[in-house]
Amino acid sequence: MVNHNKMGLLGAISYIIAIISMVGALIYVELGTSIQKSGAEFAYLCYVKWYPIAVAFMFVGCILTHPATTAIQSETFAEYIIQGLKIQFAEPYQNYLAKKLIAFSLIWLLMFLNFFSVKTFVQCFQILATIAKMVAMAIVIGTGFYFLIFKAETGNLQNMFHNSTWKPGKLVTALFAGLYSYDGWDILNYGAEEVENLRRTMPLAIVIGMTMIAIFYLAINLSYFVVLTVAQIETSDAVAVSFAQAKLASRYLHAAARHGNLPSFISCTNKFHDSPRAALFVQIILAMGFSFAGNLDQLISYVSFAAWSQRAFTMLALLYIRFWHLPVHPNAMRTPIILPILFFIICVGLVGVTIGQNFSEAAVGIFIIISGFLVFFMFMWDRALPSHEWYRRNASVANEKIAIVFQILFNGMIDLGGDEEESDENVQSSSVIANEKISIGIYDNVAMDRFGLASAVDVDSKKKF
């Protein structure tokens, strides 16, 4: 958000971001209580039978959103380590290599933690990381308010809007960065079927959680403004030295492979530790690749563009449900119709301005979204390649050979379909670092059956890859 070099505009954007996030969270409560299926956007798009769009954005999530998020978290962690320890390097390339080494070390550490005894190590690691983050936030807020109240440090708060930058491209970049920090309010939608008393739990979790987050973030920003000058904020790559949670979304990738949407060898799971090792490995390789795709601001823009494009289509699906009066759950909560319309306009505005002003950042998301459509129409549509016997035979042979290699490397078994209840239980017991979107019950099985994706057990006739 340092794209906006004046604190007044930055503060105003912080409030706008909090409001947008709250509105989006409330709309997702309506979606979650209306369509009580795990999978969030995928489930909602399948509900209105927009299968190509659903699969395209599932592909984006597996290939771009989650790996790039892991890259962002690891790069941020490396930046804060170097800034916090005040490590100096003689040459810029040494600084670059050091950051990559620290970031990759964290990624591989987390991968091995997830490889072995997830419940023992990862949960303890998550608790310690959360405590460290909360303590760091408390120190920042306490210090800022101490200087504001007892030292009357208000010099940085004078003329806060002077010479502010109002360029649409920079505004959207700042909004993406801020909205990224609030992201996570749709997590319950990914495991809606696991939540008891959804109508009561979702609104309470959203209202309490989002209110606390908004208060924390606004207080932290105010503390920055009180203690730091504009120049200090602009030139700092790590404004606060706090632990950045590194999270892996391997279960999302694993679920896609398990249900036939990606090559089944990715679903290779170690049964002793209930760890999706193949998906973890693929996730790590993708994350390392994305770490070279740009700086933190660019990575956040890639992820945000894809996420808000998906949310735009999700809002269209909700409006379609509302205006065409499609049946929903009788206990569904309803928001005023103006909210989804307003949120849809915001999504389209963010995406449209990015395409117009920062096309190079939008191009990555557009390319992968188009690739997702191509994957559907080439490999999943029953009138395309799956209709040819030669393709099914060769794809099956290739997939089986790769699966054997992965089973040997990761000491695992290919997980295709199986007992749904057992799978859901496994997901709950094997959740990875932080609040990730990892429900294995992510797909609408009825929708999957309609275009041949639900059952992937019959290799000869059902494999799509």
Who has greater pLDDT, 236 or 319? 319
Residue 455 has pLDDT above 60, yes or no: no
Residue 292 has pLDDT above 50, yes or no: yes
Domains and CATH numbers, the chain: 7-258+265-327+334-442 (1.20.1740.10)
Among 39-48, 140-149, 183-192, 286-295, which is the least confidently predicted range? 183-192
| φ, ψ at 69 (rounded to 5°) | -65, -45
Condensed to tens digits (0 to 9), the pLDDT of residues 236-272 reads 444 333 323 333 355 666 666 666 667 777 777 777 7
> Mean pLDDT in the chain?
76
Residue 451 has pLDDT above 50, yes or no: no
Residue 439 has pLDDT above 90, yes or no: no
Residue 211 has pLDDT above 50, yes or no: yes
User: Which residues 6+ apart lie within 8 Å of 34 measured at CB?
Assistant: 321, 328, 329, 332, 333
Q: How far apart are CA 216 and CA 214, in angstroms?
A: 5
Q: How far is CA 419 from the centre of its chain?
A: 27
In sign, the C-alpha dihedral spanning 446, 448, 449, 450 is positive
Residue 62's pLDDT is: 86
Q: For residue 394, name the pLDDT band (cuts at 50, 70, 90).
A: confident
Crossing angle of helices 296-323 and 338-357, rounded to 10°: 140
**How far is the first Cα of the chain from the last one, in angstroms, to the nearest whole number?**
42
Q: How far apart are CA 155 and CA 411, in angstroms?
A: 61
Residue 423 has pLDDT above 50, yes or no: no
Residue 346's pLDDT is: 94
In percent, how much of the chain has pLDDT > 90? 16
Residue 89's pLDDT is: 84
User: Which residues 6+ apart lie within 8 Å of 139 measured at CB?
Assistant: none
Condensed to tens digits (0 to 9), the pLDDT of residues 71-119 reads 888 888 888 888 878 788 888 888 889 999 999 998 888 788 777 755 5
Strand partners of residue 413 = 269
444 within 8 A of 43, measured Cβ to Cβ: yes
- DSSP secondary structure string, 187-213? HHHHTGGG-SSHHHHHHHHHHHHHHHH
Average pLDDT for residues 140-155, to the nearest whole number? Answer: 77
Angle at 331 between CA 329 and CA 333, to 5 degrees: 100
Residue 249's pLDDT is: 55
Average pLDDT for residues 329-333, to the nearest whole number? Answer: 88
Q: How far apart are CA 187 and CA 25, in angstroms?
A: 10
> How far is the CA of 429 from the CAs of 401, 437, 444, in angstroms?
30, 14, 22
Among 63-67, 102-106, 246-250, 386-390, which is the least confidently predicted range? 246-250
